[in-house]
Amino acid sequence: MKGKVWKYGDDVNTDVILPGRYLSNYDAKFLASHAMEDIDKEFAPNVKQGDIVVGGRNFGCGSSREQAATCLTAAGVQAVVAKSFARIFYRNAINLGLPVIQAPELVEKLQKGDEVELDMEKGTVKLMRTGESVAFKSLPPFIMELLRDGGLIPHLKKQMAEKKGISQP
Amino acid sequence: MPKGMTIAEAILARAGGKARVEPGEIVDAKVDRAMSHDNGALVAKHFAEIGVEKVWDKDRIVLLMDHRVPANDIKTAEGHKKIREFVAKQGIPNFFDIKEGICHQVFPEHGYALPGQLIVGTDSHTTTYGAVGAMSTGIGATEMAGVWATGSLWLMVPKSFKFNVKGKFPKGAYPKDLILKIIGDLKADGADYASCEFYGPAIDAMTVGGRMTICNMSMEMGAKSAICPPDKKVFDYLKGRAKGKYEPVYAAKDAAYEKTFDYDVSALEPMVAAPHTVDNVKPLKDVAGTKINQAIIGSCTNGRLEDLKEGAAILKGKTIYKDVRLIVAPASREVLLAAMKDGTMDIYVRAGAVVINPGCGPCLGAHEGIMAAGERCISSTNRNFKGRMGDPASEVYLASPAAVAASALEGAIADPRGYLK
Ligand code: SF4
């Protein structure tokens, strides 16, 4: 899917991705409307389905709030690419079906506003500005399976259904 | 011969039903206990989506409310109500309503954190329980719903770091200053995915509370877990508290650590983390004199009795600066009771502090003690991210309770050593 790049620096923490003052409301659309607002007021009103958030080192450090991943998926973000991730954000994103791609070289190549095409299955990002296609290290198979299922909840549901021997609707 | 295991590796091997594990390996680990706070409402919502009727083991789940207590808006009240309903429906015995205090204080106080155990919590500072020799780590709400359903989760065996800490803390320097110094050195991602183990005479001499401060804040350099080898102090602390039997786990003599760091606290001075990142650490003297509007003593990092006493020793018989708001939030009801009994609270109230109920209070900027644009706070909490305590244009400095108290007296960031005999 094609999308636009939103680029940020190192140590983007979960307090700025989704500030604590919005945590008591679980409505995903509400959360999306406040995503990133403490570091980028332009993000929430302008982000489009399929856009990609790009960060530097240690993206998603800080609190364990999974709303930091929820607000991004609900805003339409198709993946986060970073030089490295903080571990809880990494897990939360996968559990919520948001692909997280650790690819330092790719981060260097991407600029704010770039149009890109991401293919998770192939493990490539095509950069429209230069026509270049950049490969990244693919995620372990069981994480890809979680992502294909749409996250941990649908994945567990599927597993339970398989255990009971009934097919998925 | 393969090398022996670190504490984290040994605990994960046991939890994963394996004889040994290697860093990088993924284990399907059975958890000993699972903790959630106010976000338990979100966990319950996801749990319902999975579609299982009953939780895997109601005795292993601990639920409490601490982040926004008493409820400060309707949404929070609804969340709290959902938790109470869930607790009643599932018959969860280990539940603490709004009165008890902060999860990371209440959980060990009530003996749920035990040496050798694997504990997960829906809070990043779940690393705190490493102070009693547990491997404990933070997870998200969706993942916790999975744990409630199955009792297990996948975990990657982390690489382990070893910190050897020697020396005697000089006057005015505390475990908080040590961990700030370490975070300043390693930076916010210096221990990403790693399990940090703390050894040495300075750790041995530390109270269990001091170790909690260290393990709590290790999260701020990305640690997956932070563990001190359990000793007699821990066993004494657990006497009359421990819920169930436990088996301490230690590292093998030849355990393999990816990195080793040596620290000597003998010359440690008061430190601060300046806005807006926890790794922006400086000696306090570099920022002394910076005007403040608010000062906070509390949180899971430094809200225990010893922390409150540390601040009270400086405030005794004095009045805080006229333009400063000093907020004191005891970490738990047990702490508050003890601080009332020994006169600590008396000192604070007389000095002009606002004492609030045990809980997270102003720490996460979601409940009270919120700051306006342009305001500045010095706080004994653990995070100073932009907007953490209110308006994104407000500022938070992190320091020890002693430094916070000294600053509250002067209306500006102040060195506590001038007030200590
Ligand atoms: S006191 Fe602060 S850091 Fe600790 S659990 Fe509460 S909000 Fe989190």
- Would an 8 Å CB–CB cutoff place A78 in contact with chain B? no
B214/B285 same-domain check: no
| Prediction pTM value | 0.93
B75, A62: Cβ pair inside 8 Å? no
Span A9-24, average pLDDT: 92
Pairing of strands B135-138, B152-156: unpaired
A119 three-class SS: strand
Atom 2 in ligand 1: residue holding the nearest Cα: B363
**pLDDT confidence bin for A166, thresholds 50/70/90:** low
Q: Report how many domains make up chain B.
A: 2
CATH class of A2-137: alpha beta
B210/B298 same-domain check: no
B300/B242 same-domain check: no
Pairing of strands B225-227, B195-199: parallel
pLDDT at B272: 98
CATH number of the domain enclosing B366: 3.30.499.10
Task: Answer yes or no: are the C-beta atoms of B10 and B249 closer than 8 Å.
Answer: yes
Is residue B2, in this structure, part of any structural domain at all? no
**pLDDT confidence bin for A75, thresholds 50/70/90:** very high
B254/B207 same-domain check: yes
Cβ partners under 8 Å of residue B363, min gap 6: B296, B298, B299, B329, B379, B381, B382, B383, B389
**pLDDT confidence bin for B143, thresholds 50/70/90:** very high
**Mutation test residue for ligand 1: of B65, B106, B123, B176, the one with most atoms within 8 Å of CB:** B123
B246/B308 same-domain check: no
Is residue B400, in this structure, part of any structural domain at all? yes
Span B349-362, average pLDDT: 97
Domain-ending residue, one of B228, B263, B298 = B263
pLDDT at B1: 63
B373/B403 same-domain check: yes
Mean pLDDT score of chain B = 97
A93–chain B nearest CA distance, Å = 9
Say if residue B381's pLDDT is above 90: yes
Q: How many Å apart are CA B215 and CA A89, to the nearest integer?
A: 20
Say if residue A167's pLDDT is above 50: no
pLDDT at B2: 73
B54/B155 same-domain check: yes
- Would an 8 Å CB–CB cutoff place A91 in contact with chain B? yes
**pLDDT confidence bin for A162, thresholds 50/70/90:** confident
**Mutation test residue for ligand 1: of B102, B220, B302, B383, the one with most atoms within 8 Å of CB:** B102
B149, A88: Cβ pair inside 8 Å? no
Per-domain boundaries in chain A: 2-137, 139-169
B294/B352 same-domain check: yes
B142 three-class SS: helix
Ligand 1 centre to CA of B50 (Å) is 28
ipTM of predicted assembly, 2 dp: 0.86
Distances, alpha carbon B385 to alpha carbons B15, B188, B269, B301, in Å = 35, 12, 23, 16
pLDDT for A84-143, tens place per residue? 999 999 999 999 999 999 999 999 999 999 999 999 999 999 999 999 999 999 888 888
Is residue B356, in this structure, part of any structural domain at all? yes
Say if residue A169's pLDDT is above 60: no
A41 three-class SS: coil
Say if residue B115's pLDDT is above 70: yes
DSSP codes joined into one string, B293-329: SEEEEEHHHH-SHHHHHHHHHHHTT----TT-EEEEE
Q: C-alpha dihedral over B31, B35, B39, B45, to 10 degrees?
A: 50
Of B73, B138, B140, the CB nearest to A24: B73
pLDDT at B123: 96
Lining ligand 1 with CB less than 6 A are B 67, 102-104, 123, 125, 299-300, 360, 363-364, 381-382
Exposure of B143 by Cβ count < 10 A (0-12 exposed, 13-18 middle, 19+ buried)?
buried
Span B99-123, average pLDDT: 98
Say if residue A151's pLDDT is above 80: yes
A129–chain B nearest CA distance, Å = 32
Q: Which amino acid is at A98?
A: L
Is residue B41, in this structure, part of any structural domain at all? yes
pLDDT at A168: 41
pLDDT for B387-408, tens place per residue? 999 999 999 999 999 999 999 9
Is residue B1, in this structure, part of any structural domain at all? no
Of B37, B99, B34, nearest to A23 by C-alpha is: B37
Domain that residue B88 falls in: 7-263
Q: How many Å apart are CA B335 and CA B295, to the nearest integer?
A: 19
Span A148-165, average pLDDT: 87
**pLDDT confidence bin for B63, thresholds 50/70/90:** very high
pLDDT for B14-55, tens place per residue? 999 999 999 988 899 999 999 999 999 999 999 999 999 999
Domain-ending residue, one of B263, B287, B303 = B263
Task: Answer yes or no: are the C-beta atoms of B323 and B404 closer than 8 Å.
Answer: no
B120/B245 same-domain check: yes
B300/B210 same-domain check: no
B227/B336 same-domain check: no
Of A23, A39, A87, the CB nearest to B366: A23
Of B158, B202, B164, B203, nearest to B8 by C-alpha is: B158
B248/B289 same-domain check: no
pLDDT for B240-295, tens place per residue? 999 999 999 999 999 999 999 999 999 999 999 999 999 999 999 999 999 999 99
The token pair that represents B118 in the structure block: 């694997």
Task: Answer yes or no: are the C-beta atoms of B153 and B29 closer than 8 Å.
Answer: yes
pLDDT at B390: 93
